[in-house]
């Protein structure tokens, strides 16, 4: 069995690859994309997210290889205007999720995380005496100024954000480019969240959706990556903006080190004063603990049996390090 701690960290990988109308098969110890244009090898071990668009098939062996490498697989619609499903990353420990749940359920901590999320969006420090409504007002100004600067810099007219899911072609090119780019960023952030052991559904600013926390995290990077890529894609031509924005955004995500930053920002977001354990040092393959009224106790132990020890087969807790 391979050592799970030898797997490359998600933050050190490439951002994403989008494919459509072809098939993914295993090739040696990696995977390859087969299409009418030919065969392209995909570096699964160093890839963060693989988006499967319409007309795509994938073999069981290829999915296993991607899962072993910790690559998140997302099934999306044409031009990424729909997000259908996601395959989980290789995270096994629930330490990150428990931190998130504790913060989400505590109103005081919840508000603290909301303020941190807003503060992380601004380059300049925000006065600490501002209330939440005032911070949201500053954020609204920041977003409007970003769109206005991008419009002036590229010459692309900006009439406001207008996106109708039921009428994709009814939106102007810049809005379609923004939506397609945002879908890519959501996929990358979704992969960072699940690969770091957090839940995409437990949002703090956004709420009520299975991807609420994805929207929270994506907003940290959207103005510096998606917006300039979308306006640049729309400035060159009004046709095919969805394909161009994906290519431009991939380069901006790499230049902005979004994968590396996203994982570090997630852990920093829930860090308590004084720091805590190194989540990268946790061996996720070890058996989990058992809940008790006085606190958690070690799992993988046959309690109440003579000679009980780690690895015993006992119905009160799994000893199998793979399934636990």
Map out the domains of the chain with their CATH numbers.
4-87 (3.100.10.20), 95-269 (1.20.120.920), 288-324 (no CATH)
Q: Looking at residue 185, what is its pLDDT?
A: 92
Give the pLDDT of the chain (324 residues) as one tens digit per residue. 233 333 445 555 557 788 889 999 988 778 999 988 888 888 877 787 888 888 999 999 998 888 887 788 888 877 666 777 776 655 567 888 999 999 999 999 999 999 999 999 988 888 888 888 999 999 999 999 999 999 999 999 999 888 776 776 778 899 999 999 998 899 889 888 887 889 999 999 999 998 999 999 999 999 999 999 999 999 988 888 988 998 899 889 989 988 888 988 998 999 876 555 555 555 555 666 777 777 677 766 667 665 544 444 433 443 343 343
Q: Looking at residue 64, what is its pLDDT?
A: 86
Determine the straight-line distance between the first and last CA of the chain, rounded to whole angstroms. 15
Q: Looking at residue 321, what is its pLDDT?
A: 39
Q: Looking at residue 319, what is its pLDDT?
A: 39
Alpha carbon of residue 163 to chain centroid? 23
Q: Looking at residue 218, what is its pLDDT?
A: 95
H/E stretch holding 200 reads none
Structure tokens at 59: 């073999």
The Cα–Cα gap between 111 and 26 comes to 46
The Cα–Cα gap between 118 and 6 comes to 35
Alpha carbon of residue 273 to chain centroid? 25
Structure tokens at 53: 């668009």
Residues in the chain: 324
> Which phi and psi angles does 222 have, rounded to 5°?
-65, -45
Q: Looking at residue 30, what is its pLDDT?
A: 80
Local structure of 308: helix, strand or coil: coil
Q: Report whether 10 contacts 259 (CB < 8 A).
A: yes
The Cα–Cα gap between 239 and 259 comes to 29
Q: Report whether 22 contacts 34 (CB < 8 A).
A: yes
Strand extents, DSSP E, the chain: 14-19, 22-27, 30-35, 38-42, 47-52, 56-58, 72-76, 83-87, 289-290, 297-298
Locus of tokens 């300049």: 124
Q: Looking at residue 47, what is its pLDDT?
A: 81
């Amino acid at each position: 069995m391979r050592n799970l701690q030898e797997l490359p960290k998600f933050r050190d990988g490439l951002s994403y690859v989008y494919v459509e109308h072809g098939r993914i098969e295993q090739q040696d110890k990696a995977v390859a994309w087969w299409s009418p244009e030919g065969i392209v090898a995909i570096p699964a071990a160093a890839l963060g997210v693989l988006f499967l668009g319409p007309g795509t098939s994938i073999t069981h062996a290829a999915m296993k290889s991607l899962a072993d490498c910790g690559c998140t697989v997302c099934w999306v619609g044409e031009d990424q205007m729909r997000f259908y499903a996601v395959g989980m990353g290789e995270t096994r420990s629930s330490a990150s999720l428990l931190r998130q749940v504790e913060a989400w359920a505590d109103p005081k901590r919840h508000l603290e995380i909301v303020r941190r999320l807003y503060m992380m969006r601004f380059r300049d420090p925000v006065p600490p005496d501002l209330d939440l409504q005032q911070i949201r007002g500053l954020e609204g100004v920041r977003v409007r100024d970003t769109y206005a600067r991008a419009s002036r810099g590229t010459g692309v007219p900006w009439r406001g954000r207008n996106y109708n899911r039921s009428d994709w072609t009814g939106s102007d090119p810049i809005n379609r480019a923004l939506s397609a780019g945002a879908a890519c960023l959501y996929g990358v952030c979704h992969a960072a969240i699940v690969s770091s052991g957090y839940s995409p559904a437990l949002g703090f600013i956004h709420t009520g959706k299975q991807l609420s926390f994805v929207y929270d995290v994506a907003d940290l990077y959207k103005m510096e990556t998606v917006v300039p890529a979308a306006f640049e894609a729309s400035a060159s031509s009004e046709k095919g903006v969805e394909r161009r924005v994906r290519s431009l955004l991939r380069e901006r995500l790499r230049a902005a080190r979004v994968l590396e930053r996203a994982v570090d920002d997630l852990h920093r977001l829930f860090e308590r004063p004084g720091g805590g354990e190194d989540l990268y040092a946790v061996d996720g393959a070890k058996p989990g603990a058992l809940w008790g009224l006085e606190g958690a106790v070690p799992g993988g132990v046959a309690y109440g049996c003579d000679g009980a020890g780690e690895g015993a087969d006992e119905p009160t807790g799994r000893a199998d390090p793979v399934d636990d």
